[in-house]
């Protein structure tokens, strides 16, 4: 039975060195708005299931986005199971590329294996270290704008990374869990107080299904946007990016990952977070100068 469950989760292939994010040296070249392969929105050779999952996000992209003046927005994604961090047959990976395209020179979006949390944490701390002195100042921490998302075990790792950042006094703007599956030794149900906003998408069918509810340690500091249940009895979601056995044994868990409505909501929330940060930056800049009479 275990092999069937592993296959249903997309875990049938064990993790490899190639599936992990590369170990980052202290001299790593850190830039925002990294180059990305041709967008799935224009790439006719891209996986059809990923194209379907992100089609609403692509429509938003074609409509254009407001000019964002804020820099150093960090978006970290985690894939589920033993999926490789660069496997473009999963929408988590392609979505990060779309964010880089939509917000060039503004957003650093990067995806990690859910087993590679240490490197994800290290990467975020490097990106926050603006003067590259190896130490985070109070100002560098307070200026952080961090968004974390993940599916399945990646949803559990999302909360873990937020909690690790909280221990170092780093705030997190938004956490997004998509059918979050508990990992041993992790707690994906309780959102730490350094997180300003959190949302949880879940479904209840199949061999594996996500956590139905998350709560805040401190409700005065963390806004739980919602625990959003999705169902697929009346909607067909393309899951051809998974093997036949996974699609049949645990289809709903993969349908929510490939659900275009979920990704459109995620894109909308990220747009909102960026707009809030831009407004705050503009207000801060305006307050630094005396008002003209």
Query: Can you give the chain as a three-state secondary structure string?
Result: CHHHHHHHHCCCCCCCHHHCCCCCCCCCCCCCCCCCCCCCCCCCCCCHHHHHHCHHHHHHHHCCCCCCCCCCEEEEEEECCCCCCCCCCCHHHHHHHHHHHHCCCCEEEEEEECCCHHHHHHHHHHHHCCCCCCCCCHHHHHCCEEEEEEECHHHHHHHHHHHHHHHCCCCEEEEEEECCCCCCCCCCCEECCCEEEEEEEECCCCCCCCCCCCEECCCCCCEEEEEEECCCCCCCCCCCCCCHHHHHHCHHHHHHHCCHHHHHHHHHHHHHHHHHHHHHHHHHHHHCCCCCC
The answer to the question of residue 14 being in a domain is: no
Work out how many domains the chain is built from and give that number: 1
Confirm if 174 and 148 have CB atoms less than 8 A apart: yes
pLDDT, averaged per 10 consecutive residues of the chain (293 residues), comes to 46 36 35 52 83 91 50 90 94 94 88 97 94 89 92 97 97 97 93 98 91 97 97 93 87 96 96 73 44 36
Asked whether residue 26 is assigned to any structural domain, the reply reads no
> 184 in a domain, yes or no?
yes
CA atoms of 229 and 240, how far apart (whole Å): 23
Residue 9 lies in a domain: no
Q: What is the extent of the structural domain holding 238?
A: 47-282
Q: What is the CATH number of the domain that holds 121?
A: 3.40.50
pLDDT of residue 249: 86
Q: Does the residue 122 lie in any domain?
A: yes
Q: What is the pLDDT of residue 61?
A: 58
User: CA 13 to CA 11: how far, in whole Å?
Assistant: 5
Q: What is the pLDDT of residue 277?
A: 64
Report if residue 216 sits inside a domain.
Answer: yes
Kindly state whether residue 205 falls inside one of the protein's structural domains. yes
Q: Which of 126, 171, 161 is CA-nearest to residue 280?
A: 171
Residue 291 lies in a domain: no
Distances (CA, A) of 240 to 51, 88, 143, 156, 228: 11, 13, 41, 24, 24
């Amino acid at each position: 039975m275990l092999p069937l469950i592993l296959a249903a989760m997309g875990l049938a292939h064990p993790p490899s060195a190639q599936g992990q994010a590369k170990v980052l040296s202290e001299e790593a070249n850190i830039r925002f708005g990294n180059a990305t392969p041709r967008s799935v929105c224009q790439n006719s050779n891209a996986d059809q299931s990923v194209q379907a999952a992100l089609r609403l996000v692509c429509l938003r992209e074609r409509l254009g986005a407001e000019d964002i003046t804020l820099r150093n927005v960090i978006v970290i994604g985690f894939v589920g199971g033993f999926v490789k961090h660069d496997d473009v047959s999963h929408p988590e990976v392609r979505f990060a590329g779309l964010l880089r395209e939509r917000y060039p020179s503004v957003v650093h979006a990067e995806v990690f294996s859910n087993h590679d949390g240490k490197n994800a944490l290290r990467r975020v701390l490097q990106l926050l270290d603006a003067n590259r002195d190896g130490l985070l100042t109070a100002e560098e921490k307070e200026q952080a704008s961090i968004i974390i998302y993940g599916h399945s075990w990646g949803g559990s790792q999302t909360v873990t990374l937020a909690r690790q950042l909280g221990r170092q006094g780093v705030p997190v703007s938004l956490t997004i869990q998509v059918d979050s599956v508990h990992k041993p030794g992790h707690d994906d149900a309780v959102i730490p107080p350094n997180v300003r906003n959190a949302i949880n998408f879940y479904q209840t069918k199949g061999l594996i299904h996500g956590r139905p509810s998350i709560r805040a340690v401190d409700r005065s500091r963390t806004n739980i946007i919602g625990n959003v249940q999705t169902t697929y009895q009346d909607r067909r979601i393309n899951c051809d990016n998974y093997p036949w056995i996974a699609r049949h044994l645990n289809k709903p868990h993969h349908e929510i990952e490939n659900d275009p409505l979920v990704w459109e909501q995620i894109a909308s929330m990220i747009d909102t977070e960026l707009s809030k940060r831009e407004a705050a930056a503009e207000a801060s800049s305006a307050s630094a100068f005396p008002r003209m009479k």
